[in-house]
Amino acid sequence: MDHADQRPINGLSHVKGATDEPLLNLTLPGLLAQTAGTYPDHPAAVFREQNIRWSYRELAARVDQLAAGFRTLGIEKGDRVGIWSQNRAEWLLTQFATARIGAILVCINPAYRLSELEYALNKAGCCAIITARRFRSSDYTGMIAQLAPELADAEPGRLRSEKLPALRSVIVMGADIPAGMIGFDRLCRENSDASASALDAVTVTLDPHDPINIQYTSGTTGSPKGACLTHHNIVNNAHFVTRALKLTHQDRLCIPVPFYHCFGMVMGTLGCVTKGATIVVPGEAFDPRETLHAVSEEACTALYGVPTMFVNQLALPDFADFDLSSLRTGIMAGAPCPMEVMRQVQSQMNMTGVTIAYGMTETSPVSFQSSTDDPLEQRVSSVGRIHPHVEVRIVDDDGNVVPAGVQGELQTRGYSVMTGYWNDPEKTGQSIDGEGWMHTGDLAVIDPDGYCAITGRLKDMILRGGENIYPREIEEFLYTYPGIAQAQVFGIPDDTYGEIVCAWIVPHNGAGITPDEIRSWCRENIAHFKVPAHICFRDSLPMTVTGKPQKFIMRDQMLAELSAQ
SS3 100: helix
Give the least confident one: 128-137, 426-435, 473-482.
Answer: 473-482
pLDDT above 60 for 4? no
The mean per-residue pLDDT over the stretch 306-313 comes to: 88
Output the pLDDT for position 223: 55
Pairing of strands 302-305, 329-332: parallel
**pLDDT tens-digit series, residues 56-101:** 999 999 999 999 999 999 999 999 999 999 999 999 999 999 999 9
Residue 369 pLDDT level (bands cut at 50, 70, 90): very high
**pLDDT tens-digit series, residues 439-451:** 999 999 999 999 9
pLDDT above 80 for 465? no
pLDDT above 80 for 339? no
For the domain bounded by 28-38+51-216, which CATH number is listed?
3.40.50.980
CA distance to 47, 487, 502, 537, per residue, from 474 (Å) = 40, 9, 10, 16
pLDDT above 50 for 1? no
Let me know if domain 4-19+286-457 sits in CATH 2.40.50.500.
no
Give the Cα separation of 485 and 464 in Å (integer). 26
Cα 180 to chain centroid distance, Å, stands at 33
Q: What's the start-to-end Cα distance of the chain, in Å?
A: 58
The mean per-residue pLDDT over the stretch 296-301 comes to: 98
Residue 153 pLDDT level (bands cut at 50, 70, 90): very high
Residue 19: CB atoms within 10 A of its CB come to 12
The mean per-residue pLDDT over the stretch 127-147 comes to: 95
pLDDT above 70 for 262? yes
Would you say the CATH fold of 461-564 matches that of 4-19+286-457?
no
pLDDT above 50 for 2? no
Sign of CA dihedral 218, 221, 223, 227: negative
pLDDT above 90 for 524? no
Domain covering 461-564: architecture: 2-Layer Sandwich (3.30)
Q: Parse the chain into domains and list their residue ranges.
A: 4-19+286-457, 28-38+51-216, 461-564
Output the pLDDT for position 221: 44
Q: Model pTM?
A: 0.88
pLDDT above 90 for 469? no
Give the Cα separation of 253 and 268 in Å (integer). 8
Residues 253, 275: contact at Cβ < 8 Å? no
pLDDT above 80 for 191? yes
Residues 218, 226: contact at Cβ < 8 Å? no
Hey, what amino acid is at 553? I
Percent of the chain at pLDDT exceeding 70: 98
The mean per-residue pLDDT over the stretch 482-511 comes to: 91
The mean per-residue pLDDT over the stretch 228-257 comes to: 98
Residues 88, 82: contact at Cβ < 8 Å? no
Residues 295, 254: contact at Cβ < 8 Å? yes
